[in-house]
């Protein structure tokens, strides 16, 4: 359980880093690309299993890492565009409500339990995510034809969690969790560099030292957020449907509180209601 707690805490701290990016005018995409190579290096060094980088494509889990790395960088871009065109609330809700996808797959593929209290707790968690995330002052509403972006964000975010679980349970032994996590970030870095080069050639964007430093600061916690989540998925006795629900709701809850206490963000009444429902849903899911 400690791995789940650590994953939640570290994932929530990423919110603080992104807020600081906004304060210091960091180019988020450039920092994200740098963050991926930093995460890869940390994971490769941290891994107990040392294998040559050239042999990584020969591993059973490589295709899972390849697709996950591609999803990491592309869904990040979709999230950024959705935030700009539809508002932060729409992007946040679309990304976090996607937890329903791995929940469904957990029940269908792995015969996970479907009790009345569990289902009620999960439904409450989804309501909590919506109420906690939505703010009237940052939602721009749906623009014509832009329903596609939230839909892509929803499906992509759900696909990441689902594929992560599927690859972990079928192809990744415990001793190779670190090198598997590193490989995901390594693939994301390669795709990120391709996108970044395209930006630099088409828009004359320059890579700055400030963005590199920001990427290093992001890469360290980002790696461990995934490392600990994968290790949490390997804990016996915790169903993935329960784990993903607790993980996503707790991250939403903590990031909301970080915004309140660290950045003096104003919470509306429905946000407070969402916080209360989030706490109740977590208690219901974990207790029953």
114-125, pLDDT tens digit by residue? Answer: 888 888 999 999
pLDDT exceeds cutoff 90 at 37? yes
Q: At a CB cut-off of 8 Å and minimum separation 6, what does 59 contact?
A: 51, 65, 176, 180, 183
Token pair of 101, please?
A: 């996808």
pLDDT exceeds cutoff 60 at 237? yes
Q: Which residues of 92-114 are buried (b: 16+ CB within 10 A; e: fewer)?
A: bbbbbbbbbbbbebbbeeeeeee
**∠100-182-34 over CA atoms, to 5°?**
95
pLDDT exceeds cutoff 80 at 147? no
Look at residue 72 in the predicted model and tell me its pLDDT.
94
Q: At a CB cut-off of 8 Å and minimum separation 6, what does 15 contact?
A: 254, 255, 258, 259
Look at residue 137 in the predicted model and tell me its pLDDT.
64
Look at residue 236 in the predicted model and tell me its pLDDT.
83
Identify the band that residue 85 occupies on the pLDDT scale cut at 50, 70 and 90: confident
- Residues in the chain, how many? 288
Q: Which of 87-101, 108-122, 161-175, 197-211 has the highest mean pLDDT?
A: 161-175
Q: Which long-range contacts (CB under 8 A, 24 or more apart) does 285-288 make?
A: 285/118, 285/121, 285/122, 285/125, 285/242, 285/245, 285/246, 286/242, 286/246, 288/115, 288/117, 288/118, 288/121
Q: What is the number of alpha carbons within 13 Å of residue 177 lying toward its C-beta?
A: 19
* DSSP H or E stretch at residue 105: helix 100-110
**Rounded CA separation 197/268 (Å):** 41
CB 258 within 8 A of CB 15: yes
pLDDT tens digits along 169-193: 999 999 999 999 999 999 999 999 9
Look at residue 110 in the predicted model and tell me its pLDDT.
87
Averaged pLDDT for residues 138-146: 52
Averaged pLDDT for residues 237-251: 90
Averaged pLDDT for residues 27-35: 92
Averaged pLDDT for residues 102-126: 89
Estimate to the nearest angstrom the gap between the alpha carbon of 116 and the chain centroid: 28
Q: At a CB cut-off of 8 Å and minimum separation 6, what does 157 contact?
A: 75, 94, 95, 96, 98, 101
Averaged pLDDT for residues 70-97: 81
Measure Cα distances from 272 to 15, 91, 140 in Å: 19, 20, 21
């Amino acid at each position: 359980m400690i791995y789940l707690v650590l994953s939640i805490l570290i994932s929530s701290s990423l919110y603080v880093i992104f807020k600081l990016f906004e304060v210091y005018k960091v180019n988020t995409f450039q920092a994200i690309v740098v963050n991926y190579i930093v995460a890869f290096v940390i994971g490769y060094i941290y891994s107990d299993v040392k294998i040559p980088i050239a042999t990584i494509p020969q591993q059973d889990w490589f295709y899972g890492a390849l697709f996950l790395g591609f999803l990491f960088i592309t869904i990040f871009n979709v999230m950024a565009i959705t935030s700009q065109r539809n508002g932060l609330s729409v992007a946040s809700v679309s990304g976090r409500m996607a937890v329903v996808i791995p929940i469904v797959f957990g029940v269908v593929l792995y015969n996970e339990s479907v009790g009345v209290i569990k289902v009620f707790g999960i439904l409450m968690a989804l309501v909590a995510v919506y109420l906690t995330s939505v703010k009237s002052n940052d939602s721009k509403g749906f623009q014509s034809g832009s329903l596609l972006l939230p839909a892509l964000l929803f499906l992509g975010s759900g696909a990441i969690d689902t594929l992560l679980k599927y690859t972990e349970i079928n192809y990744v032994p415990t001793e190779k969790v670190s090198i598997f996590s590193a490989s995901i970030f390594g693939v994301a870095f390669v795709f990120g560099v391709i996108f970044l080069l395209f930006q630099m050639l088409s828009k004359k964007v320059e890579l700055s030292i400030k963005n590199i430093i920001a990427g290093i600061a992001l890469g360290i916690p980002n790696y461990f957020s995934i490392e600990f989540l994968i290790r949490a998925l390997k804990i016996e006795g915790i169903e993935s449907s329960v784990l993903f629900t607790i993980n996503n709701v707790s991250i939403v809850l903590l990031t909301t509180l970080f915004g309140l206490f660290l950045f003096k963000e104003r919470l509306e009444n429905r946000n407070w209601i969402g916080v209360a429902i989030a706490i109740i849903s977590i208690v219901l899911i974990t207790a029953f």
